[in-house]
Amino acid sequence: VTLDVQAVCQDTTVTQELLKEGFHRDLLVKVELGVVGEDVGGCAVAARTRLPPGIYMDPYELASLQQHNLTKAVLIPDVIDVEAPEYLATDLLVLLYMEPDPQCSRCFRAALPVHGRYHRPAEDSEEVSVVLKSPEVLVCCCDNRLSTECWKSAEVEAPCSGKNIGPCQWYSVRHQPTYEELVLQVPVGLRQHSSLVCVVTLLATVLCSSLILAAVCKYGHFS
């Protein structure tokens, strides 16, 4: 019996992918549960992942997506400064609810839009690496009775799905990630370009201010 439980625990796999390029990406998470021979149709699956300071999720964008039933997620904290640079930001905890994959009875998947924050200029590289660790897989079988020998209780104050009112019992699933870490390459400026950027910014500001002032003087009506 012990061997069977260990085999089931080791079968659960997690895959993370970053889609698109640049600062604005989509994080795709796939989970295949190792519960061979059991019905997981009544279970909810979620990925609890920690976003490092270099990545953030826009709460307004999330609210819009949830309003159109395009994704379900809980952000902790729910108030986020989307303008803060990486060196002034903190970690974010995301509980991402997953949808069943129609091509696999034990598979679940979900996508979440994430954004890279601005970093300090680098010395000799035009990109900086932001490491995203593999998420924790959580399972909640409120309407189903499954054997939970290889799962452990998880302290999660969240409903099994967006339709549930109160929290229910979540279990943390032992899993084997395809990759332990996912690396996002974020473009950054170079320190040797600082003087040039300052001069160009100052000239552009003076030019735009002059054009606005000229337009006000020419077309403005002063009493």
Q: Under a CB-based contact definition with an 8 Å cutoff, are residues 55 and 116 in contact? A: yes
Tokens of residue 115, six digits? 């954004």
Query: Which among 12, 52, 36, 16 is positioned nearest to 137, based on CA atoms?
Result: 12
Asked whether residue 125 is assigned to any structural domain, the reply reads yes
Question: Are 202 and 129 members of one domain?
Answer: no
Question: Are 178 and 203 members of one domain?
Answer: no
3-state secondary structure 142-183: CCCCCCCCCEEEECCCCCCCCCCCCCCCEEEECCEECCCEEE
pLDDT the model gives residue 1: 33
Question: Are 113 and 163 members of one domain?
Answer: yes
Asked whether residue 56 is assigned to any structural domain, the reply reads yes
Instruction: Walk along the chain (223 residues) in steps of 10 and give the mean pLDDT of each run.
Output: 42 85 90 68 84 92 88 86 91 91 86 90 80 87 60 72 64 73 79 72 89 83 63
Instruction: Show the domain range for 102.
Output: 13-187
Asked whether residue 17 is assigned to any structural domain, the reply reads yes
Asked whether residue 147 is assigned to any structural domain, the reply reads yes
pLDDT the model gives residue 57: 92
Report the alpha-carbon distance of residue 149 to residue 125 in Å, rounded.
48
Q: In terms of pTM, does the model score above 0.85?
A: no
Q: What is the CATH number of the domain that holds 53?
A: 2.60.40
Tokens of residue 171, six digits? 């279990």
Number of domain units in the chain: 2
Question: Are 200 and 97 members of one domain?
Answer: no
pLDDT the model gives residue 3: 36
Amino acid at 34: G
Question: Are 88 and 118 members of one domain?
Answer: yes
**CA 91 to centroid of chain Cα atoms:** 11
Task: Determine the 3-state secondary structure of 81 from DSSP.
Answer: coil
Question: Are 57 and 152 members of one domain?
Answer: yes
At residue 146, what are phi and psi to the nearest 5 degrees?
-115, 155
Question: Are 111 and 203 members of one domain?
Answer: no
pLDDT the model gives residue 153: 72
Question: Are 133 and 92 members of one domain?
Answer: yes
